[in-house]
Chains A and B, each alone.
Chain A
């Protein structure tokens, strides 16, 4: 356990700091923006796709290839769909003249 913590100390620091950054960022957001914000955050956790790309790039067995391919597709859906939907929502907030 201790060796595990020692080995990953950098990552643990990063986690702790990011928790606080995340909380600070959302501190005082008007409720109008809750939905786009949720949707934008939804797109950002699509970063999980990087894991699926690595897994796919190292896969050799057929099963892992199939599952990996599926993971890449689903991850891309999360990223692309997430950002596009958010942009569509925010498009409507632009100043009308």
Chain B
């Protein structure tokens, strides 16, 4: 009895650490502490469960060597993967870990279902089931198991596709009426779920059919969504896994699972909506908007309409322009991350500052592949936190800026978001780089950005293109500025 109460108190403390952890994660100065607090809570909850958990008959958990084995294997792999991953690959890593959690919830449901099936087979329990109310309780349990499995497996397969997309292994794919097919599939899944619970026979068949269809649904759900929207999708799947964990909490009457799961479920859903707002789009629009796919075709036809020509500039001219500027704003994008140019951009910044140039970074809310991606990346190379200015604050400053250097960014500076209602990114707030005296755009080629649309900015008279890999081009720029003495 005391063991049980001790465990409940441990769960209570763990629940508090989760709430505090999330709270602290929302503030830059306390974020790291928040993460550690939540990790501590998770640790005591895990070890408390292993040593103190007893079932209804007072039996402790068995198979401890296997449990510790699993913990050890998971810890080593998880630790190494998390430590080794490049900062640029963070988003897909988060997606991968999220998928693991979803798969974990899915497996728990499968085992619990098999457990119910096998107890069903014993004559003793059939007698017990004939007692009034017992069958309803069993059906309630089955419902929770199935819902946990459905959400867990959607989160699992969806996260795997999101991971594949972000790492470039999976391409965007959509086919006609896909949204209707998805909705239909969802209806079928729910219908079969009903069969698995209420059906008198073949429950096993319906259960595994629901499992297979849920996995398929996860794939079809993420497949058509454009790569640029992956952060939103990952955040949504993240909250799905939270809900799946909460179903587990319901199943075992386990409060810490419930608290952790629901917290992430609700916080994750809100975070998803906040992210959508940062792009000035609704969640529905992201999910059915076919951002990447549909836009490409429209873009191809409209690109021909741009007036003006592309002007190329070389590193030495850019160097002169920047050295004698009063104020330079750097707009980083995913190209900077891909080229691993965060260190050299910092070098450029300090070099210009030593020449008396004021340098700032303009951070678009969705620059890179995830909100905050650029901040994390630039912070890695010691760029001071107060030099990173968010969009609303920096936009009025472009008018007083001599040179804007766009490094590997595209859609976030595309004026079509303001001027072209037919553009897939129409309505997204952008950085008003055009207000500056000169705009230098560093890109590898004229290829379109992630949204797959042409950028009129590149054709403007103020704009000059500095082609090349971001790291190489910036290195060249640094040495040219140094050469100017």
Contact = CB atoms under 8 A, between A and B. Distances in A.
Interface of A: 3-4, 7-8, 11, 14-15, 18-23, 25-59, 61, 63-65, 67-96
A45 B111 contact: no
B73 interface: yes
B183 interface: no
Contacts of A3: 133, 136
Nearest to A2: B136
B104 interface: yes
B38 A44 contact: yes
Contact of A36 (B53, B78, B372): B372
Interface of B: 14, 18-19, 21-23, 25-28, 31-32, 34-36, 38-39, 42, 45-46, 49-50, 53, 55, 60-64, 66-67, 69-71, 73-75, 77-79, 81-83, 85, 87, 90-91, 93-94, 96-98, 100-101, 103-105, 107-108, 110-112, 114-115, 118, 133, 136-137, 140, 231, 234-235, 238-239, 241-242, 244-246, 248-268, 270-271, 274-275, 278, 363, 365, 370-373, 375-376, 379-380, 382, 384-385, 388, 390
Contacts of A44: 18, 21-22, 38, 42, 242, 260, 263-264
A36 B249 CA distance: 25
Contacts of A7: 137
Contact of A45 (B87, B245, B380, B390): B245
B379 A57 contact: no
11 contacts: A11-B258, A26-B22, A31-B365, A32-B372, A34-B278, A46-B97, A51-B251, A56-B63, A71-B108, A81-B100, A82-B78
A48 B97 CA distance: 13
B341 to A, nearest CB: 16
A30 B385 CA distance: 13
Contacts of A4: 136-137, 140
Contact of B22 (A40, A70, A74, A77): A40
A36 B463 CA distance: 35
Contacts of A38: 94, 231, 234-235, 238, 268, 271, 370
A74 B107 contact: yes
Contact of B372 (A20, A25, A35): A35
Contacts of A50: 45-46, 49, 248, 252, 254, 256-257
Given A64-B115, A76-B75, A22 B270 contact: yes
Given A38-B94, A48-B105, A89-B90, A72 B261 contact: no
Nearest to A38: B235
B481 to A, nearest CB: 23
A91 B103 CA distance: 29
Given A31-B372, A70-B107, A22 B63 contact: no
A76 B73 contact: yes
B37 to A, nearest CB: 10
B35 A51 contact: no
A23 B251 contact: no
Contacts of B372: 31-36
A87 to B, nearest CB: 6
A11 B103 CA distance: 24
B390 A31 contact: yes
